[in-house]
Amino acid sequence: MSVAVREQKRSAWGGGYSPFKVEYGKLMMWFFLLSDSFTFGALLISYLTTRFATMGWPDPNKVFKSYPGASEFANAPLVFVSVMTFILIISSVTMVLAVQAGKEMNKKAVIKYTLFTIIGGLLFLSCQAWEWTHLYREGAWWGRNPFPNFDGSLSSPNFTNFFFTITGFHGFHVFSGVIINIVMLIMAFVMYSKKEDII
Amino acid sequence: MSHEVVLQADVAGVHGTAHHEEHHHKQSFITKYVFSQDHKIIGKQFLITGIIWAILGGFMSVLFRLQLGFPDTTFPWLETVLGKWGKGGHIAQEAYYSLTTIHGTVMVFFVLTGGLSGTFANFLIPLQIGARDMASPLMNMLSYWFFLLASVVLLSSFFLETGPFSGGWTAYPPLSALGQASDGSKQGMDMWLTALVFFVVSQLLGGLNYISTVLNMRTKGMSMTRMPLSVWGVFLQAVLGVLSFPVLFAGFILLIFDRHFGTSFYLSDIFVAGQILPHEGGNAILYQHLFWFLGHPEVYIVILPAMGLVSEVMSTNARKPIFGYSAMVMSMFAIVILAFLVWAHHMFVTGLNPFLGSVFVLLTLLIAVPSAIKVFNWLTTLWRGNIRFTTGMLFAIGFVSLFISGGLTGIYLGNSAIDIHIHDTYFVIAHFHLVMGVAAFFGMFCGVYHWFPKMFGRFMNSTLGNIHFWVTLIGAYLIFWPMHYEGFAGMPRRYYDYSGWESFKQFISLNKFISIVVIITFTGQFLFVFNFFYSIFKGRKVTNKNPWQSNTLEWTTPIKPLHGNWPGEIPEVYRWPYDYGKDGVDFIPQTTPVGEDESVH
Ligand code: HEM
Ligand SMILES: [Cu+2]
Encode pLDDT of B150-184 as tens digits: 999 999 999 999 999 999 999 999 999 999 999 99
Q: In the structure, what pLDDT confidence band is assigned to residue B564 with cuts at 50, 70 and 90?
A: confident
Please give the residue range of the domain that contains residue A155. Answer: 47-66+74-198
The neighbour count for residue B247, using CB atoms within 10 Å, is: 27
Residue B595 lies in a domain: no
Residue B558 · residue B495 · CB < 8 Å: no
Q: What is the pLDDT of residue A129?
A: 96
Residue B564 lies in a domain: no
CB contact under 8 A, A27 and B215: yes
Residue A13 lies in a domain: no
Closest CA of chain B from A119, distance in Å? 29
d(CA A145, CA A164): 11
Q: What is the pLDDT of residue B19?
A: 41
The pLDDT of residue B121 is above 90? yes
- Find the helix or strand (DSSP H, E) in which A199 lies: none
Q: What's chain A's average pLDDT?
A: 88
Q: Which residue of A has its CA nearest to B247?
A: A39
Rounded to an integer, the average pLDDT of B440-451 is 97
Residue B187 lies in a domain: yes
Q: What is the pLDDT of residue B6?
A: 32
Rounded to an integer, the average pLDDT of A117-143 is 95
Q: In the structure, what pLDDT confidence band is assigned to residue B195 with cuts at 50, 70 and 90?
A: very high
d(CA B554, CA B571): 10
Which CA distances in Å does B555 have to A153, B7, B124, B137, B312?
A: 72, 12, 11, 22, 13
Q: In the structure, what pLDDT confidence band is assigned to residue B64 with cuts at 50, 70 and 90?
A: very high
Q: Which range, of B260-269, B272-281, B514-523, averages the lowest pLDDT?
A: B272-281
Q: Which residue of A has its CA nearest to B216?
A: A18
Please give the residue range of the domain that contains residue B152. Answer: 37-268+275-549
- Name every chain A residue with its beta carbon within 8 A of the beta carbon of B211: 27-28, 31
Q: What is the pLDDT of residue A74?
A: 81
Domains identified in chain B, total number: 1
Rounded to an integer, the average pLDDT of B99-120 is 96
Q: Which 3 state secondary structure label does DSSP give A1?
A: coil
- Portion of chain B with pLDDT greater than 90, in percent: 84
pTM of the model: 0.92
Encode pLDDT of B341-394 as tens digits: 999 999 999 999 999 999 999 999 999 999 999 999 999 999 998 999 999 999
CB contact under 8 A, B261 and A142: yes
Q: Ligand 1 in contact with B525 (CB < 6 A)?
A: no
Residue A112 lies in a domain: yes
Residue B536 lies in a domain: yes
The pLDDT of residue A16 is above 90? no
Residue B176 · residue B185 · CB < 8 Å: yes
d(CA B529, CA B544): 25
For chains A and B, CB pairs below 8 A equal 158
A23 shares contact with chain B (CB less than 8 Å): yes
d(CA B584, CA A59): 78
Residue B141 lies in a domain: yes
A36 shares contact with chain B (CB less than 8 Å): yes
Q: Ligand 1 in contact with B371 (CB < 6 A)?
A: yes
Who among A28, A32, A54 is closest to B281 (CB)?
A54
- Of B525 and B6, the structure prediction assigns the larger pLDDT to B525
Q: What is the pLDDT of residue B145?
A: 96
Residue A125 lies in a domain: yes
Q: What is the pLDDT of residue A71?
A: 79
Q: What is the pLDDT of residue B25?
A: 52
Task: Check which CATH number belongs to the domain holding B414 and give it.
Answer: 1.20.210.10
Taking CA A161 as the corner, what is the angle to CA A160 and CA A165, rounded to the nearest 5 degrees? 110
d(CA B425, CA B402): 20
Residue B30 lies in a domain: no
CB contact under 8 A, B264 and A50: no
Task: Check which CATH number belongs to the domain holding A184 and give it.
Answer: 1.20.120.80
| Optimal mutation site among B133, B211, B263, B347, interface A, most CBs of chain A within 10 A | B263
* Helical residues (DSSP H) of chain A, grouped into ranges: 24-53, 60-63, 79-103, 107-137, 158-194
d(CA B38, CA B46): 12
Domains identified in chain A, total number: 1
The pLDDT of residue B301 is above 60? yes
Q: Quote the DSSP letter at residue B502.
A: G
Rounded to an integer, the average pLDDT of B462-484 is 97
Q: Ligand 1 in contact with B357 (CB < 6 A)?
A: no
The pLDDT of residue A45 is above 50? yes
CA nearest to B62, candidates B579, B526, B523: B523
d(CA B511, CA A51): 47
Residue B13 lies in a domain: no
Q: Ligand 1 in contact with B303 (CB < 6 A)?
A: yes
Q: Ligand 1 in contact with B407 (CB < 6 A)?
A: yes
Residue A35 · residue B245 · CB < 8 Å: yes
- Tell me how long chain A is: 199
Which residue, by CA, sits nearest to atom 37 of ligand 1? B432
Residues A166, A167, A168, A170, Cα dihedral to 10°? 90
Residue A20 lies in a domain: no
d(CA A187, CA A176): 17
Ligand 1 atom closest to Cα of residue B440: 30
